Amino acid sequence: MQASDVNFTTIQFLDPGGRLQRPLPAALASRDKLVQLYRVMVQTRVFDRAAINLQRTGAMGTYPSGEGQEAIGAGIGMAMRESDVLVPYYRDVATQIQRGVLLEEILRYWGGDEWGMHYRHQAEDFPISVPIATQACHAAGIGYAIRYRKQARAVVTTCGDGATSKGDFYESINVAGAMALPVVFVVNNNRWAISVPLAKQTAAPTIAHKALAAGIDGYRVDGNDAIAVFQVIDELLERARSEYRPALVEALSYRLGDHTTADDASRYRAQPELDAARELEPLIRFRTYLQSEQQWSAADDEALYAQCNERVKHAVEAYQAIPEQPPGEFFDYVFAKPSADLQQQKQAWLDEVKRHG
Q: Which residues partner with 250 through β-bridges?
A: 187, 220
Q: H or E stretch including 247?
A: strand 247-252
In three state form, how does the secondary structure of 62-95 look?
A: CCCCCCCCHHHHHHHHHHCCCCCEEECCCCCHHH
Q: Which of the residues 45, 259, 285, 287 is marked catalytic?
A: 259
Cβ count within 10 A of residue 338: 15
**Residue 34 near residue 250, CB atoms below 8 Å:** no
**Residue 117 near residue 87, CB atoms below 8 Å:** no
Residue 147 is a catalytic residue? no
Distance CA 187, CA 130 (A): 15
Residue 114 CA, chain-centre distance (Å), reads 19
DSSP string, 306-346: HHHHHHHHHHHHHHHTSPPPPTTGGGGGSSSS--HHHHHHH
**Residue 254 near residue 190, CB atoms below 8 Å:** yes
CB proximity list for 45: less than 8 A, separation 6 or greater: 67, 70, 283
Q: Which of the residues 19, 81, 268, 333 is marked catalytic?
A: 268
Cβ count within 10 A of residue 329: 13
Phi, psi (rounded to 5 degrees) for 219: -140, 155
Residue 144 is a catalytic residue? no
Residue 259 is a catalytic residue? yes
Closest CA to 136 of 184, 97, 189: 184
Q: Which of the residues 255, 287, 289, 319 is marked catalytic?
A: 255
Q: Which active-site residues does the annotation give? A: 255, 259, 268
